Structure 1
Amino acid sequence: MAKVKYYYDADTLSYRKIAVKKSAYYKRTIFGAFAVLLIAFIGFIVFSQFIMSPSERSLKRENENLKLNYALLSKRIEETSSILGKLQQRDNNIYRMYFEANPIPEEQRKAGFGGVNRYKHLDGYDNSTMIKQLTKGVDVLSKQLVVQSKSLDEIVALAKEKEKMLASIPAIQPVKNEDLKRMASGYGFRMHPILKYRKFHKGMDFTAPTGTPIFATGNGKVIRAQRSATFGNVVYIEHGYGYKTIYAHMSKMKARKGQTVKRGDLIGYVGNTGLSAAPHLHYEVHKNDRALNPINFYYGDLTPEEFVAMQKAAEEEGQSFD
């Protein structure tokens, strides 16, 4: 109930009640109510800045958790990229170099991530920058892993081919050391024992008793096993990769044309057939139809000391046995 107010009337020497106009009363009432609402609204705004609803608090926690997981995932991507980078260096500088393969350029490893804005669809979010960086990091890493995986597949194929090639290249003596009497003649110009003139000797002669075993010096296929006027009983083995070996003057051939042989397989026996002055094996190594010095192909069979001794004997010019 509103208070009744009075004023002192000097004319009547008495207190008289003050009459309040209704319009003023309503104005004061409305102004008071507006002021209360305004204060309440301002208070709500200020209060809401410090006090969050349960759903807002949950959303905030979720955002903080996402940012933490983003930081951890980014760190793991960096660590994985570092490990992959070291593997890429070994791949280019060791693996591919060993197998004589060209290194993979850096541009090829990271190709397809320049120019076009492929992440435009991720714009418009509160954390668009963060999302785009993480997505790009994963894409680059995935691309590099695919390229590296294909490179390792190629390395495996090259390794298998290299293993096959190393098994095929002539690498041992055709006659064992313990079976040799001596090495009669090496690669180079020698006096022919029957024709009696200096002739280029394309192979090496190993003197040994008739019937001494002769072995294939590398994996391959027998392309000729026949008798000839010059070489007598002779076996030719095609090893692949441009290599071919010839085994001449055999007393008996064990290998047959078309037969597949492995290094160390018995292919015949030492003899004195054809143009030969004594029992021995005439052995030649050819690469792309050019005769090479066989002494360079005994690395799988001789010690360094044995190799030096054989090299010294091969360099002494004398008479060959064929």
Structure 2
Amino acid sequence: MARRIIPVIFDAENFRFGKVPSKVGKTLLLVLAYMLLTFTLAVLVYLAFSLVFRTDTERRLRQEIRMYERLYPDLEEREQLLGDAIANLQYKDNEIYGLVFHSPGAPMLDPMEEDGSFVDVDAIPEQELLGYARNKADSLLQRSRLVDAAFGRIFQALSDSATVLPPMILPIKDITYPQVGASTGRKMNPFYKAYVYHEGLDLIVARGTPVLAAADGTVVSASSSKSTGNTVRISHAGGYETVYAHLESMNVRAGQRVRAGARIGAVGMSGQAFAPHLHYEVRKDGAGRDPVGFFFASVSPSEYVNMLYMSANTLQSMD
């Protein structure tokens, strides 16, 4: 058996021999320390670089995230507005069907019933968001096609010469909503100082303003009374009748045929009238209707809305 040679060293101070210390352990510890320091420095350099410098891909992804954060709430709001607008179109479409064509109305649309509110957009998977947007878009397209088809039927009916149209021409040319007074309903009578039922619409214009026939028809009467003053009644097709009261003068006689837009008299304050104005009524089969509801075809949508508001909220009548 070979003998193992162990190096020794003489310690002159203590006068003894000892083993030569091994450097392997220290070398390993030193190598590990250098490796750990190098790794730590590499991590710090990477973190500093990623915070200060960004790649094109990172910048693009961050921009997309910010865009989506702004886009989704805006899209939800716009979708809600679009849905409300389509619902209003449907309501107006059915109103036109009932008012003009005396039919039950267009078929009801089939809106989506699912809730469209996003509490936390970031928590919703992208595929779910895309599916929601796709379904919403398909639903809105379907609803818009139904509305478009309904209006197509309206235009087709309007082009039919046999269609009976109600009196939709303004009895006063170019009248605006500030000139619209109290409409039908319980209003304050200026003479009795009490709320009584008002059967027509007050159009407040200057004395002598021409009064026009709202549709083709036959003059039923052109007479005067203590309450309504000089009054013209015109019978129209479809069971409609229009009444023009408190006129200063009358240009037609009973039995006379008149065309839509023809002058039949002038505004005045004959009878029990508080000030010069036209008291205008629309009747269907003897029942009174709100005359403002027939103005939608003669004015802009915003003007029509303002007229509705003014007529409904004016509590003081002129007669």
Larger radius of gyration: 1
Normalised to the residue count of structure 2, the TM-score between the two structures is 0.49
Normalised to the residue count of structure 1, the TM-score between the two structures is 0.49
